[in-house]
Amino acid sequence: MGVRIEHTEEENYKKLDEIIDRYKDQEGMLIRILQKAQDVFGYLPREVQSYISERLNIPISTINGVVSFYSLFSQEPRGKYTIGVCMGTACYVKGAQEVLDAIKDELQIDVGDTTMDRLFTLKATRCIGACGLAPVITINDEVYGRLTPSDVPSILYKYIKTNKKSQLDRQG
Amino acid sequence: MEKYHILVCAGTGCTSSKSDAVRERLHKEIKKRNLSDKVKVFKTGCFGFCKLGPIVVVHPDRTFYIKVEAKDVDEILDSHIGKGQVVERLLYKSVNNDEVQKTIDEIDFFNHQMRIALRNCGVINPEDIKEYIAMGGYNNLANILTNKTPPTDIIEELKKSGLRGRGGGGFLTGQKWEYAYNYEGNKKFVLCNADEGDPGAFMDRSILEGDPHSVIEAMIIAGYCIGAHQGYVYVRAEYPIAVDRLEIAIDQAKKAGLLGQNIFGSGFDFDLDIRLGAGAFVCGEETALIQSVMGMRGEPRPRPPFPAEVGLWEKPTLNNNVETFANIPVILEKGADWFASIGTENSKGTKVFALAGQINNTGLIEVPMGTTLRTIIYDIGGGIHDNKQFKAAQTGGPSGGCIPADYLDIKIDFDTLADIGSMMGSGGMIIMDESDCMVDIARFYLEFAQDESCGKCVPCRVGTRRILEILKKITKGKGEMEDLKILEDLCYDIKDSSLCGLGQSAPNPVLSTLQYFKDEYIKHIKDKECPAGVCNDLLKVVISDEKCVACGICARVCPVNAITGENKNPPFHIHQDVCIKCGACIPKCPVDAIYKR
């Protein structure tokens, strides 16, 4: 999932129109349209669902029924990186709460939220079984252990830097 | 003609262990050293030995290199290609006797195997239709279409071969084709089920990644037989490499005139399309899959009518699994009698298994039906990890059951597995040893089934949740003996009354563990103990008085300061009322004195 702050909403809806026009005359293409729409918007907010509903003349209840059925679809915006803070007992007593607070403070978001720039989504996860490294966080598939609140900024900065670099590269 | 061909695996497993970098480096170095007329590098599908990836095989001498990294490329080119000396350190060492096994033909893992569905995986480049054609691919299709072979002859041949559905149901494929052929319809469809949702199964993925054309060819033949002009392959979106290769293969087949209008000038039209699954386990059930292909919620409906009569858009639809299709070109090429000579009386041919769990050689294997579990585990799989005691093999994923050690010598086929309360299923085979708790395994599968239940029918939606609650209670040491009776009754009720295969088979892991490992359940309930040391609520972390050297490391890593003692004055002691059983101290102990029991 790339970050999509460089596109304006209008451009996204233009893309959505192209997607709908490409598939609307074929039967059974709703899931394909929703998948492509999610690629454009990053998730499927209610507005996008109702837009698709109007354009395809399918009741929004049907659209939402499909969106909520399949785990691939998300109705909440998601960040490029999902941070999972392990809240298992060992991590908790080793100070996971403090680490979580440090991340919340650093990113100015709450658990379950995503940063404004769609870079990070913060989640509190169940025990990931790495109690020996407690406290543990995961960022996408990367595991970081034995953390203290003071480690947080440098770890996050690494991802912010990578992202900035890729944005600059894209701008050429 | 190049002297050497270097094959680099590009399956999902090896790709995750960075085989792309190895391939790129090979290309670069070969160019740099001007070896292009001597050496050619190929990308292949899965060899099956995923645990030891990235895998590189050098032909003509068939040297099998394991765990190859980009930095090893120079050495392979210098010594193997340059001087004709194999790179010893990258060769496979047998886990059984530590001897070096140099070529693909010597390796234990590949002995006892017989590759029919996987015949081209790891042999050809899946992204080049010419390589498939060079292996005799599309030849059957050409013969059938140009000779106008009567469909009934082909269906008869399939029936005679005895091929049964490899998705897990084991229904006679020829019979299915016959039903779809007999039902009248102005439009018919062919479907390929590649929604491999079982945890621990990756057979279909490997076939699509390693040999997509064999599935495409079989689907075109199926279309010709039943009179369909459109086919769909329903693939999980979680298999990006498989989807890419399938798209490339369909594209190439269209350009070659093997898909589309008037194939081989015979007047027969057939087109193929991909539909992506969006992450719902129930969509592997054929009626749910059909709903999903039509872009709706994947909810099953009662059968009959079967899809062969009322399927996609209410038209007759033939639906087979990937592995079933992959067998068909070979059967038509070598004949039904040849195929029927392999396997057991009622289960013909081979079966692909995904071997995983507590076993030395994890990976993908294909063995004749009737191979014993012992052969699979000890001869092919190299035995149990850390020489532990084998406890059970779980087959058929969340719908299957487990096979205990008493049945190690059972000849595995559709019927024998059903007789002992397990099932063939799609082919996931998870090996478990003494460190696995069977109650916990049952809980794990029920958690999965409960999560994936589509919710349309009450027995499955509510029933699986109730089973899960009871299992959780037992693993927490709060179970009672009457729970076992309730569990059993619930299981049979859910099996009898659920709408589709998911619900009808969801209780199987519970029933099967109850049948063979009831003692473990009783230990959890009566003694409040978990013999395998898995269920955390029933465990104590203890320090062995004899082993402890009183170094104090454990006390320092303990997150809750539950460990006390005097340095250099053993033993240290864990206060059970404070200990949270996180196990942080266990790996830290230099003399392995701490364990869970």
Tokens standing for B344?
A: 């057991």
**Mean pLDDT over all residues of chain A?**
84
Give the lowest-confidence range in A76-80, B88-92, B303-307, B490-494: A76-80
Is 60 exceeded by the pLDDT of residue A2?
Answer: no
Q: Which of these, B78, B75, B145, B66, lies nearest to B109 by C-alpha position? A: B66
Backbone angles phi, psi at B452, to 5 degrees: -95, -5
Query: In this complex, do A66 and B275 lie within 8 Å of one another by their Cβ atoms?
Result: no
Share of chain B above pLDDT 70, in %: 99
CB-count exposure of residue A140 (10 Å: 0-12, 13-18, 19+): exposed
Contact A89 B278 (CB under 8 A): no
Q: Can the peptide bond before residue B305 be classed as cis, meaning omega within 30 degrees of 0?
A: yes
Q: Is the pLDDT of residue B122 over 50?
A: yes
The CATH number of the structural domain formed by A81-171 is 3.40.30.10
Reported as a pLDDT band with limits 50, 70 and 90, residue A153 is: very high
CB contact under 8 A, B587 and A28: no
Contacts by A54-62 with C-beta closer than 8 Å and gap 24+?
Answer: A55/A17, A55/A20, A55/A24, A56/A20, A56/A24, A56/A30, A58/A30, A62/B296
Structure tokens at A50: 């109702």
**Residues of chain A contacting B292 with CB distance shorter than 8 Å:** 31
Tell me the pLDDT tens digit for each residue of B132-175. 999 999 999 999 999 999 999 999 999 999 999 998 889 999 99
Q: Is B276–A35 a contact, with Cβ atoms under 8 angstroms apart?
A: yes
Mind listing the pLDDT tens digit for each residue in B338-381?
999 999 999 999 999 988 778 888 788 999 999 999 999 999 99
What is the distance, to the nearest Å, from the Cα of residue B86 to the centroid of all Cα atoms in its chain?
32
Judged against a pLDDT cut of 80, whether residue A120 lies above it is answered with yes
pLDDT of residue A130: 57
Residues of B with Cβ-Cβ distance to A64 under 8 angstroms: none
- CA triplet B180, B164, B456: central angle to 5 degrees? 70
More confident position, B582 or B591:
B591
Q: Is A86 annotated as a binding residue?
A: yes
Is the pLDDT confidence value at A132 over 80? no
Percent above pLDDT 70 for chain A: 84
B185 Cβ contact list (under 8 Å, min separation 6): B227, B315, B316
> Which pLDDT value is given to residue B346?
95
Strand-pairing partners, residue B543, are B594
B300: contact with A, CB 8 A cutoff: no
Report which of residues A146 and B338 the model is more confident about.
B338
Element (H, E) at B402: strand B401-404
- The tens digit of pLDDT for each residue in B11-47 reads 877 876 678 899 999 999 999 999 999 999 999 998 9
pLDDT tens digits, one per residue of B534-565 = 788 898 899 999 999 999 999 999 989 999 99
Touching A: B residues 524-583, CB under 8 Å: 557, 559-560, 580, 582-583
A91 known member of a binding site: yes
SS3 for chain A is CCCCCCCCHHHHHHHHHHHHHHHCCCCCCHHHHHHHHHHHHCCCCHHHHHHHHHHHCCCHHHHHHHHHHCCCCCCCCCCCEEEEEECCHHHHHHHHHHHHHHHHHHHCCCCCCECCCCCEEEEEECCCCCHHHCCCEEECCEEECCCCHHHHHHHHHHHHHHHHHHHHHHHC
Band of the pLDDT at A167, cuts 50, 70, 90?
confident
Torsion A66-A70-A72-A78 (CA) sign:
positive
Whether the CB of A79 is below 8 Å from some CB of chain B: the reply is: no
> Is the CB of residue B495 less than 8 Å from the CB of residue B504?
yes
* Per-residue pLDDT at A126: 58
> How many residues are present in chain B?
597
* pLDDT of A3 above 80: no
Write out pLDDT tens, residues A8-22. Answer: 788 999 999 999 999
| Inter-chain CB proximity B559 and A31 less than 8 Å | no
Asked if pLDDT for residue B58 goes beyond 80, the answer is: yes
Partner-chain contact B582 A88, CB within 8 Å = yes
Confidence of residue B484 (pLDDT cuts 50, 70, 90): very high
Q: Check residue A131 and give its pLDDT.
A: 52
Domain chopping of chain A, boundaries: 2-69, 81-171
